[in-house]
């Protein structure tokens, strides 16, 4: 983190991050927003993306506006199947058991 801060100060540039959650994107373009995001992510863990999509308080903090309402067809296309989810992990388990 220190190197990132030092580089940003020396080069007067902040490395922008893009956070994807569902069909939306959030751009982290300053240190305050990065620190705020990292703090919430530490507290919420794997639920961060869900909360970015639906938690009005968190959406207000990051100025995302009201939650985006999706129809059932859009939600279905965003979800990955159980097979797709676990097929990516099979190689991980094989390499760990070797």
Domain locations in the chain? Answer: 2-70
- For the entire predicted model, the pTM comes to 0.63
Q: Identify the bridge partners of residue 17 per DSSP, sorted by sequence position.
A: 28
Lowest-pLDDT choice from 17-21, 32-36, 81-85:
81-85
Average pLDDT over residues 8-15: 80
8 close to 31: Cβ distance less than 8 angstroms: yes
Instruction: Tell me the C-alpha distance between 83 and 22, whole Å.
Output: 20
């Amino acid at each position: 983190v220190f190197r990132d801060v030092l580089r940003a100060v020396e080069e007067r540039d902040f490395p922008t991050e893009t956070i994807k959650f569902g069909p939306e994107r959030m751009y982290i373009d300053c240190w305050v927003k990065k620190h705020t995001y990292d703090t919430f992510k530490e507290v919420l863990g794997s639920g961060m993306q869900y909360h970015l999509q639906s938690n009005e308080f968190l959406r207000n903090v990051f100025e995302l506006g009201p939650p985006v309402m999706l129809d059932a067809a859009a939600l279905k296309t965003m979800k990955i199947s159980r097979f797709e989810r676990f097929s990516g992990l099979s190689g991980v388990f094989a390499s760990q058991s070797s």
